[in-house]
Structure 1
Amino acid sequence: MASQPADVDPAEFNSLNEDFYRADPAETIEHRLWMLAAFLADESTNVGGQEELSLSRDEAPYRKDRVQFAALESTLILHQAAETLLRLCLAHWTDAPCPWFEMAKLRQPRVFPKKVAHVSNTLDTDETISELLRIVSWSGDQDVIEAGVKWGYENGWERHREGLRELIRYCCVVIRDGADLYNAGKHGLAILPSEKGVSIGEGDVISVRGPSLTVIERQVQDGDLRWAKVTHWVKYKESIAITGKIASAVRSLWECGKTAGLVVAT
């Protein structure tokens, strides 16, 4: 059995932190959203740059193809953004001295899912939400925050606190329930985007129509784990909007980390 890697020398933390905070994960997420939005909006018949990129087509995709791509790409971006926010939160938990090192340790088998499950199960406790507020918003203390923030609406602190709680809860659900869909797209694009509709009863009592993603995944049927072809309907505009909120939380967390004394001038 492979031995566990030795811990990083604490003397290297400052240098690692300096390098780590030169990145900008929120900007990367926003760039992907911007490119997806531009792709959806562009109705020109010429892709532009197709010769330089060696593209096999010389005209823009039809609207239907754009929407099907948006269903797939928005799902992948949402999952990655949710995972990024959760991993960064865990890497900054309890004033960890070197978040980059903590991020690396989270990649060990089964570590990240277990920690996400713990955060999800304790989200309604004061301890967990206070720690998340400290990581993302600088402090879990209402007086500290309101000393530098003027809310533009009533009950600003409570809305901020509950908004962060629900955003993290949403990210936990994405990681827990969307793993098969994300992995199918990430590993070999083994996923089928299409436009499907299903209705039950006269007059479409129950009806679902729109962009969808179909994958083969494992599901529990009659108490047994079996493979099944499953279709997920995607509200890609909603996914894009929520991903934008996640990116804002990532940016706030990043700025808090950079100014929390983790990088010491030398």
Structure 2
Amino acid sequence: ILSLPELYPAIENHLIPCSGAVAAHMAELITEDQPRIKFSTSFVGHNICNMSLSAEVGELSRLMAQMERMGAAPILNDGQVAGNCAISPRILQLPSIDTTDGSKHTASGPESLAVVSMSGKPPGHLLDPSTDFVLVTNFDRALWAAEYRSRDASVRPSSDSPLLVAALAHGFDYGWSEQPAVVLHGHALAEGEGLSYATQLGLPISPRATLFSTPEDLAELEALFRSHPYPQHRCYIRRGHGFFLLAGSVAEAEALFAQLVLPWLLEQQQRQQVH
């Protein structure tokens, strides 16, 4: 499997600006009645670790930028891009810090479910590991509510946090033999010809499209997780929503993106050039 850097010489010869139509045609409208984040959020404090000290978070940020550049993170009607990512705190290897009560805390632990990208990334913005990632410390499915830590209460977790947390923290509930450490979510291969392409690859596809960031959205993805366990399967398609790549490392996620998603994006960009 070639990594994205190895593929870039060929990519640069064919790359054109992407409006987002290459990635997906789903019209996920953001309105006052249907906000981007559809679960309640509670800010419980500032980040207790410096994400910029983690090489993995920096690598994940760059992978997100590559995904957007290739066209898998279209701009929604609120002016912010779709697509997000998450990494498990257990692989970050961040140093612990002393708190005011004399105890030590790190990003790992039973209440640290996932480190997720912030909600509402501006187009072209490179996620800053020190300011743009959010630690989801708890998610209550019954209340459909998340607790989180970030640099500021206004920096909230991705609208897909319920799905990202499910992938990173609940694998054993689905009968998986191991748990992934990285999730990359983009808006491609979810409908039309992209869905046909995913079918040809044999990727697990949910049968029903739902509104994103909802309990129904999570239920559809979890059904795929149970019927197609990780690591035998590493890419899942939410019909009408997008792909979810699960991997053991950022490098593996990058390789899977190059293998499974990038060929489709390049084909669509080449079609746009012709027309």
Higher helix share: 1
TM-score (norm 2): 0.27
TM-score (norm 1): 0.28
Higher alpha-carbon Rg: 1
Higher strand share: 2
More RCO (CA 8 Å, sep 6+): 1
